[in-house]
Structure 1
């Protein structure tokens, strides 16, 4: 299965790769979709992950904590990454509703 041109890796039990039917937004149960860009996608081996909404404190911080726990290779980059919901940057205490789509934006450099 391919997501946005990147090979998708099998995710831990709490995570799953978006089924083909949900990649275009069709049906399915409530999930939080995490879109990964740049080095985050490379480290995770996937451009997107999905998870059930966190039962505990459904906040951006809770989602990031679960990512750190389940994908330790991402931890250092997550600390420096921005998070967006829709077209606005959000903080760790921002609530995360079921069916949210978070974009994780790692720092970039250029010249």
Structure 2
């Protein structure tokens, strides 16, 4: 069996922005979009967290353009994949899990239909 049949890394998240998105220039000359998405847990246990804050990143130009108009508390939906990133710090190696987004859109607050912002 091939790896294409066994492995799958697809993430779809819908949640609220905890802060405005950031655009960070990279040494390569690319621009990194970074934002944090608050996603409620479906069935939280008593005294357990009711939501998770997930870091989302992207270098997709279309998504960078649309996300620059997003604001705190906007409800957005993103599609991408989960990735683990390592980097060196003065105290050792650090690690983080992030959602690498390939698409995203802002959703309307008053209804279920998405705003016309596919990326």
TM-score (norm 1): 0.28
Report the structure number with the largest CA radius of gyration. Answer: 2
Report 1 or 2 for greater relative contact order, CA contacts < 8 Å, sequence distance ≥ 6. 1
Higher helix share: 1
